[in-house]
Amino acid sequence: MQAIILVGGLGTRLRPVTYDTPKALVPIRNKPFLGYTIDLLREAGIDGMVLSLGYMPDPIQSYIAERDDLDGFTVDYAIEKTALGTAGGIKNAERFLRGDGPVVVLNGDVLTGMSLRAAIEQHEAKGARATITLTSVEDPTAYGLVEVEHDMKVRRFLEKPSSDEITTNLINAGIYVLDREVIRSIPADQEVSIEREVFPHLQEGGGLYAHVSSSYWRDIGTPRSYLAASNDVLSGAVGAGEDFDYLEVDSSVSVGKNAKILPPVVVGLGCRIGDLATIGGRVSLGKNCRIGAGAMVEGSIVLDGAVIEDGAVVRGSIVGKDVRVCRGAIVRGLSVLGAGSVVGEGNVLDLGIRLNPKVELAPRSVSF
Ligand code: GTP
């Protein structure tokens, strides 16, 4: 069985991270996100995937080319010239499908411990034309909700309802099983949305079923959810399955005197950690990062080559590749710093501020 993975979107909500890295390759625990998707497919016994590409296809293809452990797992590339949307992307991948059985389709930004096998088996048992997997969320107001009948047929879709209209907390988990005739019926070479066009049409005809999963699920579409997904993988909730004391510090890492590294943490190859620095509260440091003396990094993702200078603080934020956070600067509150940006001495960034790549904030004098 093959899968189609939708990885062609612009990832606008995750900018500036996605200006230089497609969402499918942003690292979690220093492993490109697509690696987790491939693990999920292989665990389910799926033996190949078609990557439905649009935005930044080259680094995704290079990532696959560099993997030497995909024996027996086929990868094909369907590249769009213009964005075709979620169903258009599936249609564009159709020519790479072999045989005639159902196909699993995944949004390429979903991290889950869900059993794809269970979804496929239910799809077949129900004789569905299409099956949408659903997951429950605590606050359903921000999502499109899906109401389900007792026999698991989809009853209706509710798009971002107000709190008094809420009848369910089940949302589309971005993983589908589709019969081939459903893919055949999608018009070619035009933008089509599976959520807004294909599924409502199938629901009217009664062929659309839901598979509800209670397994771990999160998408990484926003800075908040990307950071949360990273924390969850580090603490073993999903992915690698390590326990809460997870600590990965390679021998190429140099650690200064009295520096504290508190698990769960991953420290990439070649990092240098200064004296008295503190790294903890679920941190992922990419390759060749430098953390200065007395600096503190907490609950954050720091990408390759970033420098956090002496006495600087990074807390609950995402620091892009080759960023420099200068002496004594503070970056907190879900700030997101684009690749190569510089936060000059004495700056305090907070409240989800996003810095575009290569922006340089001048130093600020600090008065006490
Ligand atoms: P935002 O711009 O932040 O909404 O992110 P996105 O572009 O990834 O869109 P969204 O999160 O809605 O997309 C869900 C999944 O579908 C992601 O894995 C996207 O990569 C993928 N996707 C979205 N639009 C397209 C498209 O036009 N073509 C293809 N091939 N995939 C798409």
Q: How many CA atoms lie within 13 A of 275 on its CB side?
A: 1
Instruction: Report the pLDDT value the prediction gives residue 244, as an integer from 0 to 100.
Output: 45
Are residues 289 and 185 both part of a single domain? Answer: no
pLDDT tens sequence across 99-144: 899 999 999 999 999 999 999 999 999 999 999 999 999 888 878 8
Residue 152 has pLDDT above 80, yes or no: yes
Name the band, by pLDDT with cuts 50, 70 and 90, for residue 288.
Answer: very high
Are residues 118 and 187 both part of a single domain? Answer: yes
The CA 364 to ligand 1 mean position distance, Å, reads 39
Categorise residue 69: left if φ over 0, alpha if ψ from -120 to 50, beta otherwise.
alpha
Are residues 88 and 13 both part of a single domain? Answer: yes
Domain that holds residue 350: 247-361
Task: Please give the structure tokens belonging to residue 308.
Answer: 């956090």
CATH of the domain at 97: 3.90.550.10
The CA 259 to ligand 1 mean position distance, Å, reads 41
The CA 221 to ligand 1 mean position distance, Å, reads 9
d(CA 224, CA 35): 21
Name the band, by pLDDT with cuts 50, 70 and 90, for residue 9.
Answer: very high
Instruction: Report the pLDDT value the prediction gives residue 251, as an integer from 0 to 100.
Output: 77
Are residues 218 and 284 both part of a single domain? Answer: no
> Lowest mean pLDDT: which of 72-81, 193-202, 332-341, 359-368?
359-368
Domain tally, the chain: 2
Q: Which residue has the higher pLDDT, 163 or 229?
A: 229
228: DSSP letter? H
Average pLDDT, integer, range 4-17? 97
Are residues 96 and 176 both part of a single domain? Answer: yes
Pair 8, 89: CB distance under 8 Å: yes
Residue 366 has pLDDT above 80, yes or no: no
Residue 267 has pLDDT above 90, yes or no: yes
d(CA 44, CA 102): 14
Task: Output the CA torsion sign for 149, 155, 161, 165.
Answer: negative
Pair 366, 346: CB distance under 8 Å: yes
Are residues 223 and 298 both part of a single domain? Answer: no
The CA 21 to ligand 1 mean position distance, Å, reads 14
Of all protein residues, whose CA lies closest to atom 24 belonging to ligand 1? 9
User: For the residues of 304-329, what is the DSSP string, one character each?
Assistant: TT-EE-TT-EEES-EE-TT-EE-TT-
Instruction: Report the pLDDT value the prediction gives residue 141, as an integer from 0 to 100.
Output: 80
Instruction: Report the pLDDT value the prediction gives residue 238, as an integer from 0 to 100.
Output: 76
Pair 195, 175: CB distance under 8 Å: no
Pair 315, 332: CB distance under 8 Å: yes
Burial class (CB in 10 A: 0-12, 13-18, 19+), 60: buried
Domain assignment present for residue 240? The answer is no
pLDDT tens sequence across 206-263: 999 999 999 999 999 999 999 999 999 998 877 655 444 556 676 789 999 999 999 8
Of all protein residues, whose CA lies closest to atom 10 belonging to ligand 1? 9
User: For the residues of 20-76, what is the DSSP string, one character each?
Assistant: HS-GGG-EETTEEHHHHHHHHHHHTT--EEEEEE-SSHHHHHHHHHH----TT-EEE
Are residues 28 and 165 both part of a single domain? Answer: yes
Amino acid at 42: R
> Lowest mean pLDDT: which of 92-96, 134-138, 184-188, 234-238?
234-238
The pLDDT mean for the chain works out to 93
Query: Which residues line ligand 1 at a C-beta cut-off of 6 Å?
Result: 6-14, 23, 52, 54, 80, 83-86, 89, 107-109, 221
CATH of the domain at 261: 2.160.10.10
Instruction: Report the pLDDT value the prediction gives residue 14, as an integer from 0 to 100.
Output: 97
Instruction: Report the pLDDT value the prediction gives residue 113, as an integer from 0 to 100.
Output: 94
Domain assignment present for residue 367? The answer is no
Are residues 322 and 230 both part of a single domain? Answer: no
Residue 18 has pLDDT above 80, yes or no: yes
Name the band, by pLDDT with cuts 50, 70 and 90, for residue 367.
Answer: low
Indicate the residue among 188, 210, 234 that finishes a domain. 234
Instruction: Report the pLDDT value the prediction gives residue 173, as an integer from 0 to 100.
Output: 95
Choice from 4, 5, 6, 92 to test ligand 1 binding pocket (greatest atom count within 8 A of CB): 6
Domain assignment present for residue 241? The answer is no
Residue 189 has pLDDT above 70, yes or no: yes
Instruction: Report the pLDDT value the prediction gives residue 240, as an integer from 0 to 100.
Output: 59
Model confidence, pTM: 0.94
Instruction: Report the pLDDT value the prediction gives residue 192, as an integer from 0 to 100.
Output: 97
Indicate the residue among 181, 209, 234 that finishes a domain. 234
